[in-house]
Amino acid sequence: MSAKNLLLKQYGEVTVITINRPDALNALNPETLKELDETFSEIEANPATKVIMITGAGDKAFVAGGDISVMQPLNPLQARTVARQAQHLFNRIEHSTKIVLAAINGYALGGGCELALACDIRLAADSAKLGQPEINLGIIPGWAGTQRLPRLIGKGKAKELMLTGNMISALQAEKLGLVNKVVPDDKLFDTTLEMAQKIAAKPQVAVRLIKQAVDNGMEMPVDKAIDYEAELFALCFATEDQKEGMAAFLEKREPNWKDC
Ligand code: CO8
């Protein structure tokens, strides 16, 4: 597909999506959200991609938020539509059958932080800055930040970030559990790609089931979630990869995954 505000590049089984509006610090406008949605549909259906990586163009920003110039004149009904458009996209990312990694290469603010929150794993450059500054604009996070952030870092810290609008460093974000890992700026892309390729080389049915067990299980009471885990665990024993993985271990050789 051709997208005006996205760059797509394939690295083996990993597709890298670069949000490409560097003059606006990669702020997400409705056009870019639509392109991301269409791109996700295509990548989702493409078996050549096992893992997706999202980053921002330039060296200043991952995504500096929703596009404020688009939001400023909205009436409540239009604002709801824009909120729903991105919420729908971010839900798709969260529930994608592929693993999605965010390489946070600069500002991840407001909607940019919310985009990163919808990803499975977040790596940040050591100069990156994260935050939910919507309060400073007289609004609240509207792309699921009020829900994903407290689920990830706890209510108290999430409220502090949203109520103060403070920007925090990558290291502070790592301490909070908001990012998985901080790496030097010039190593971010390669380190994230390396992790993406490592996950792409694993047996993909088990990869998907881990994502499903964690994401769906976290929304259930723990006893139900544990029952659910047992069902997904049992399902692994219907795969060729379970037979192969265990045979390879016992025969002291590398497994040859079939992803089925
Ligand atoms: N939207 C639109 N344009 C932006 C945005 C943005 N979020 N962020 C930066 N830009 C633009 C600037 O306007 C500027 O454009 P121009 O050169 O034409 O003047 C260009 O990017 C460069 O930005 P700065 O000159 O401001 O760069 P600085 O290095 O001085 O500052 C900052 C960088 C600190 C990141 C600063 O740009 C900033 O504070 N940006 C806004 C951050 C923000 O508040 N983000 C949250 C937005 S709200 C949101 O995301 C809510 C989503 C949910 C919406 C629900 C639907 C209604």
The whole-angstrom separation of Cα 153 and Cα 39 is: 29
| Ligand 1 pocket member 56 (CB < 6 A) | no
Tokens of 83: 């909120």
Residues 54 and 121: beta-carbon distance below 8 Å: no
User: Active-site residue 134, yes or no?
Assistant: yes
Q: Which of the listed residues 5, 21, 23, 25 should we mutate to test ligand 1's pocket, taking the one with most ligand atoms within 8 A of CB?
A: 25
Listed residue (254, 193, 210, 208) closest to 13, CA to CA: 193
Instruction: Kindly report the pTM of this predicted structure.
Output: 0.97
The Å distance, Cα 24 to ligand 1 centre, comes to 7
Class of domain 204-250: mainly alpha
Residues 130 and 104: beta-carbon distance below 8 Å: yes
Listed residue (69, 56, 70, 68) closest to 25, CA to CA: 56
List the end-to-end C-alpha distance of the chain, in Å, as a whole number. Answer: 28
Fold held by 6-200: 2-enoyl-CoA Hydratase; Chain A, domain 1 (3.90.226)
Residue range(s) in the chain whose domain bears CATH number 3.90.226.10: 6-200
pLDDT at 27: 98
Q: How confident is the model over 104-156, as pLDDT tens digits?
A: 999 999 999 999 999 999 999 999 999 999 999 999 999 999 999 999 999 99
Q: How confident is the model over 11-62, as pLDDT tens digits?
A: 999 999 999 999 999 999 999 999 999 999 999 999 999 999 999 999 999 9
Q: How confident is the model over 233-255, as pLDDT tens digits?
A: 999 999 999 999 999 999 999 99
| Ligand 1 pocket member 63 (CB < 6 A) | no
Residue range(s) in the chain whose domain bears CATH number 1.10.12.10: 204-250
Task: Point out the ligand 1 atom lying closest to the alpha carbon of residue 67.
Answer: 1
Tokens of 119: 């990803």
Identified catalytic residue from 13, 44, 114, 174: 114
pLDDT at 45: 94
